Amino acid sequence: MGTSIELNTSDGHTLGAYKATPDGSPKGGVVVIQEIFGVNQHIKNVTDEFAKNGFVAVAPALFDRTEKGLELGYGQDDFQKGKETRGSLNDEGIQNDVQAAIDEASKAGKVGIVGYCFGGYVSWLAACKCSGLSAASTFYGGGIHAKREDTPKVPVIFNFGDNDGGIPLSQVHDIKEANPEIPCYVYDEAGHGFCCDDRESYNQGACERAHKRTLDHFASHVG
């Protein structure tokens, strides 16, 4: 369903992206933000699913600023490589890359953004800093806690697991306290990465509920 495209940013960078289009007229656009494993097959599958639900979906390869075309698995070496690559990025570059993806997705209408792990943080960053968005959904974004006082420009929902070793419930409480108007869903018996069916932490029930809430959120604000 999807194809590889290139995006050009305002600061002169060119990055790859995976773009999936729905059958028939799109409801709008969705930007899908990767975990620390790059735009790998799992993220492509997620992007395809949003297309099947009627959206033009674009997944920008944020790691292209450091290493073009990096796609990782879920072993320890992959995790270390992903962590190091994510550490090489800065928010300004990330924001420029995401803005280019939003601009591409906006050709289909209003745009929502969704991200997982590293991408959960990026979705929050975009909701607060980028233009052209109508809604955002974040999944277990560890960096959100440090930026919880930022103000989003668009409606957001948070999705966290109650058994996330990297995001303790005390941090989730802080995020909720700083943003009492934002729906914050915490899923039972769900760890970090509970929506990745290639990882041991996958929790099908939690993932299905979180994605239904995300689709409902997008239906209300995107199309």
- Digit-coded pLDDT (tens) for 77-113: 999 999 999 999 999 999 999 999 999 999 999 999 9
Report DSSP letters for the chain, one per residue.
-EEEEEEE-TTS-EEEEEEE--SSS-SEEEEEE--TTBS-HHHHHHHHHHHHTTEEEEEE-GGGGTSTT-B--SSHHHHHHHHHHHHT--HHHHHHHHHHHHHHHGGGSSEEEEEETHHHHHHHHHHHH-SS-SEEEEES-GGGGGGTTS--SS-EEEEEETT-SSS-HHHHHHHHHH-TTS-EEEETT--TTTT-TTSTT--HHHHHHHHHHHHHHHHHHT-
Is the pTM here over 0.95, yes or no? yes
For the chain, which domains are there?
A: 2-221 (3.40.50.1820)
**Per-residue model confidence (pLDDT) at position 31:** 99
Round the average pLDDT of the chain to a whole number and report it. Answer: 97
